[in-house]
């Protein structure tokens, strides 16, 4: 983990579930499918992959914003 405590390793799984495509995102510390960060069902494999990629990008944008806020806070203290 980095000094700001913001490092996270995510992975996506996409697979066929009956007539739908299932996608979920989890981290390496708890990779079990019982409690993912996010999941969804889609009509096509491409839609499931696109949704998972967009969700990971959203996690990364939120993480970058948190890091930015933490750095601004640290800079104002020091």
Q: What are phi and psi of 75, to 5 degrees?
A: -65, -35
Greater model confidence, 36 or 45: 45
CA-CA distance, 71 to 63, in Å (whole number)? 12
CA-CA distance, 42 to 64, in Å (whole number)? 28
Quick one: average pLDDT of 3-32?
81
Q: For 49-75, write each residue's pLDDT tens digit.
A: 999 999 999 988 988 888 888 888 877
pLDDT at residue 37 greater than cutoff 70? yes
The answer to whether the CB of 14 falls within 8 A of the CB of 33 is: no
The DSSP element (H or E) to which 24 belongs, if any, is: strand 20-27
Identify the pLDDT of residue 10.
Answer: 83
Please provide the average confidence, as pLDDT, over all residues in the chain. 84
What are the structure tokens assigned to 48, written together?
């499931």
Quick one: average pLDDT of 2-11?
66
């Amino acid at each position: 983990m980095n000094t700001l405590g913001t490092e996270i390793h995510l992975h996506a799984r996409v697979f066929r579930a009956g007539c739908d495509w299932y996608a979920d995102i989890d981290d390496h510390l708890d990779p079990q499918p019982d409690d993912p960060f996010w999941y969804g069902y889609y009509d096509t494999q491409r839609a499931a992959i696109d949704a998972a990629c967009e969700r990971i990008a959203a996690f990364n944008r939120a993480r970058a914003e948190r890091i930015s806020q933490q750095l601004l806070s640290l800079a104002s203290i020091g």
